[in-house]
Each structure stands twice: as C-alpha cells, then as structure tokens.
C-alpha cells in the first residue's frame, strides 16, 4: 500500500483595486509513504512541495454573465528531479449568476515540462493536458430557500510524450446542502 498525505494553504485576493481581477497562490506539501518506485529510483521520489499561482479577470458580458480568462503557473520542488516540473495553463471560463442558480463552465489547456530524464523510459517527460469542468448550482432546491444543490461534471486528458503516463479522468457528482 502507498499512502499520500497532502497539506497546504491558499491565499487569494479578489476585486483588486475595484476591478474583477483575482490572484491566488497555493503551497502544498506531499508526503508519500512506502514509495516503492522512489526507493528504486531516487529521481522518481514524490515527496516535496507544490507551488501554484493564478490570475483571473472576469469580463462582464451581459446581465449576470462573465467571460473569465485566466493563467496559471505552477512548479514542483520534489525530491525526485524526474517528477519535478514547471507548468503553464491557460483557462477560459463562462459564469452565469441569477437569483435562483449559478452556472460555471471552464476549459483549459496546459503544459508540464519535467526537469530530468525518466530513468525507466529514458526520456524527459513533457505533458499536455486538456480539461473541461462544469458546475450548476440551484440556490433554492424544490422551492425551499435553505436547500441548495450542485451538479458537477468534468473531464481531463493528459497526453504525455511517455505514452505509459497518458491519462483520462472523468468526474461527476451531486451535492445537496442546507444553509443555516
């Protein structure tokens, strides 16, 4: 068994100087127990720090509608250099707010450039990622103000120059909540 523990913090600042700009920075530490591949190949160890900085700007596009372009820069400072990377991601979102619901749709494309040659595949890893994510929230479920619900759906595809590391991720969910 391999257990991974991640803990961190995120700072965000919105409405900068009265504009719809938002910046954020997050820092997380990952600790992988029983890291068999990291024990065999030191350059593949997965313990370390993850850094991520984002900027977004919501451009009004009508009543309750915003187009939200964004950019993210990330890097990992892991013990294993073959798993350490610098990443860039460009995002484009659509937000729709009304008195009864909220809708968010985001699409992104990103590039992760790894630091060292992978010891098993003898290549320096480079990943291109594509993702789309949607959230629809009803603020008064069944006509009851304190009840709300969110429907969540997402998809991500990672295309790596090391085919073994290609990945597709699907996610979905339904939440129901009560406001006190």
**Within its chain, how far is the Cα of 44 from the centroid?**
22
CA distances from 69 to 47, 55, 56, 120 (A): 32, 9, 6, 38
CA distance 134 to 153: 5
Query: CB neighbours of 18 closer than 8 A, spacing ≥ 6?
Result: none
pTM of the entire predicted model: 0.84
Residue 1 has pLDDT above 90, yes or no: no
What percent of the chain has a predicted confidence (pLDDT) above 90?
A: 84
End-to-end Cα, the chain, rounded Å: 40
Residue 114: how many other CB atoms lie within 10 Å = 22
Q: Per the structure block, which two tokens stand in for 55? A: 């900027």
CA distance 82 to 42: 9
pLDDT band at 9 (very low <50, low <70, confident <90, very high): very high
CA distance 130 to 110: 7
pLDDT at 73: 98
Residue 34 has pLDDT above 90, yes or no: no
What's the whole-number mean pLDDT along residues 150-168? 97
pLDDT tens, residue by residue, 77-135: 999 999 999 999 999 999 999 888 899 999 999 999 999 999 999 999 999 999 999 99
| Helix (H) and strand (E) counts in the chain | 1, 10
pLDDT band at 32 (very low <50, low <70, confident <90, very high): very high
Q: Per the structure block, which two tokens stand in for 100? A: 């009864």
Main-chain dihedrals φ then ψ at residue 164, nearest 5 degrees: -60, -25
Length of the chain: 180
Residue 11 has pLDDT above 90, yes or no: yes
pLDDT tens, residue by residue, 125-150: 999 999 999 999 998 877 777 889 99
CB 119 within 8 A of CB 45: no
């Amino acid at each position: 068994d391999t257990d991974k523990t991640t803990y961190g913090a995120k700072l965000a600042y919105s409405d900068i100087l009265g504009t719809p700009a938002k910046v954020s920075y997050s820092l997380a530490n990952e600790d992988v127990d029983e890291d068999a591949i990291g024990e065999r190949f030191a350059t593949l160890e997965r313990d370390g720090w993850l850094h991520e900085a984002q900027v977004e700007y919501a451009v009004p596009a009508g009543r309750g509608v915003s187009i939200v372009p964004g950019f993210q820069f990330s890097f990992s400072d892991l013990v294993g250099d073959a798993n350490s990377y610098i990443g860039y991601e460009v995002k484009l979102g659509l937000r729709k707010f009304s008195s009864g619901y909220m809708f968010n749709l985001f699409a992104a494309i990103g590039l992760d450039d790894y630091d060292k040659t992978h010891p098993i595949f003898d290549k320096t890893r480079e990943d291109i990622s594509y993702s789309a994510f949607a959230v629809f929230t009803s603020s008064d479920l069944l006509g009851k103000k304190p009840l709300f619900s969110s429907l969540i759906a997402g998809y991500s595809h990672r295309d790596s120059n090391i085919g073994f590391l290609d990945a597709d991720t699907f996610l979905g969910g339904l939440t129901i909540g009560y406001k006190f």
